[in-house]
Structure 1
Amino acid sequence: MSAEERRESVIRAAIIEFGRGGYHGTSTQTIAERVGVSQPYLFRLFPNKRAIFLAAALRCIEETAVVLREAADGLSPDEAHHAMGAAYKTLIKDRDKLLMQMQTYVAVASAEVAGDREFGEPIRAAWSRELYDLALLTMGGDAEEATLFLAYGMLINTLVSLGYQADDRVWEGFWPETVPQD
């Protein structure tokens, strides 16, 4: 396997491990074991744990943006809004990616509390560029609609993470195509 293929394996493993254990609760040894490499080899691919986490977090943002962009391609703002909502439902079926997304927010917030604003800079930049700007442009430049779309997404993340089933009353205000099925 090439170094680039190994890097890719590490990112995929990191999404699973950081998603399940969080930034502070996941060791690089655990990631190395999942990939089947030694920890020293892992650090030849990435300089440190922070770089591995960042690569995993940025990958989740990037993959989310790709799915939403493809769903909205060529549609009117209203059609795109619904299509992106339905497409997002497919993303959150991947529990590991959903958990990684949620852990990313926790890790950035924790770093901020500890006085480390730098930790979240690349994640904030990617989130703004890849997700907010995508929503804003897709919604025809309507900041209120873009904010509403992203707010619904965060609420969906929370409800799915908490384990609400599709028939629970908490889903009543959602478009039917956005309610995750069990």
Structure 2
Amino acid sequence: MVRMSAEERRESVIRAAVAEFAKRGYYGTSTEAIAKRVGVSQPYLFRLFPGKKAIFAAASLRCVEDVCQVMEESSKGLEGEEAVHAMADAYVRLITEYPEKLQMQMQTYITVAAAEAEGDHEFGEAVRKGWLRLWDIVHLSMGADVNQTATFMAHGMLINTLAAMGFPPEHRVWEGMYPEARVTGRLEKS
């Protein structure tokens, strides 16, 4: 039997946390469920992370980082419309192939709002920092045009909402979302 290093175990906890929190949210997920999914005890889980909030933050920030990486890689060497379409395609592929990434994003927004309402701004600051990194990646890929960046990000949030609500790709609510994508079939899997 091959033993995992603490860092490898930490990575497996983050993956498990994304899966668990994506389904049940921060308040509906127990650390026991995460530990069970990873195959460790809760005390061991808390040797890797100081608490549930830290686990949720790591899972949330991992999802933001994954989206940042997808945007960077897909737009590398491209400009303008080519970059827009490459990033849009890559994002749709990401949330289609890994729906838990989308679900985790949605849970993150809810949890940030709840934490902020309770006066806890630390988690929100960390998430906003990651989101600003995403904004900057998209912004620079689009030639630093603030209106295009805002439109692209707004489309992304609409895609998140429609996908999270389960609208199938052939539904009329998708019309107008990158019209050429519907013709070439880029939004067919959902």
TM bracket, shorter-chain basis: over 0.9
Q: CA deviation at 1:78?
A: 1.6
Q: Which amino acid letter does the alignment assign opposite residue 78 of structure 2?
A: L
- TM-score, length-normalised on structure 2? 0.92
CA distance in 2, matches of 1:28, 1:180: 36
Q: Which residue of 2 aligns with 1:52?
A: 55
1:71 correspondence with 2:74: yes
- Partner amino acid, structure 2, of 1:103: Q
CA distance in 2, matches of 1:116, 1:158: 26
User: Which residue does the alignment assign to 1:97?
Assistant: 101
* Partner SS state of residue 92, structure 1: helix
Could you tell me whether the CA contact under 8 Å between 2:170 and 2:188 is conserved in 1? no
> Is 1:133 matched with 2:141?
no
Instruction: Report the more deviating stretch, 31-40 or 106-115.
Output: 106-115
Asked if 1:32 corresponds to 2:40, the answer is no
Quote how far apart the aligned CAs of 1:126 are. Answer: 1.0
Pairwise CA distance, 1:166: 0.9
Secondary structure at the aligned position of 1:153 is classed as helix
Cα contact 2:63–2:105 (8 A) shared by 1 = yes
SS at match of 1:181: coil
Structure 1 segments unaligned to the other structure (5+ residues): none
What is the DSSP-based 3-state SS (H/G/I as helix, E as strand, rest coil) of the residue aligned with 1:14? helix
| TM-score of the aligned structures, taking structure 1 as reference length | 0.96
Q: Which amino acid aligns with 1:181?
A: K
Counterpart Cα distance in 2 of 1:57 and 1:126: 10
Measure how far apart 1:119 and its partner are.
Answer: 2.1
Kindly provide the CA deviation profile for residues 105-159 of structure 1, in whole angstroms up to 9, marking residues without a partner as x.
1100111112212221111111102x10011111111011111111111100110
Distance (Å, rounded) in 1 between the aligned partners of 2:172 and 2:25: 30
Say which is worse superposed, 2-11 or 69-78, in terms of deviation. Answer: 69-78
Q: Which of 102, 106, 110 pairs up with 1:106?
A: 110
Choose which of 133, 141, 152 in structure 2 pairs with 1:149: 152
- Aligned letter for 2:62? R
After superposition, what is the alpha-carbon deviation per residue over 1:46-92, rounded to whole angstroms, capped at 9, x for unaligned? 01111111111111011111111111011112210111001111111
Give the superposed CA RMSD: 1.1
CA distance in 2, matches of 1:180, 1:141: 30
Q: 1:144 to 1:180 in 2, by over 3 A?
A: farther
Give the aligned length. 181
Structure 2 unaligned spans of 5+: none
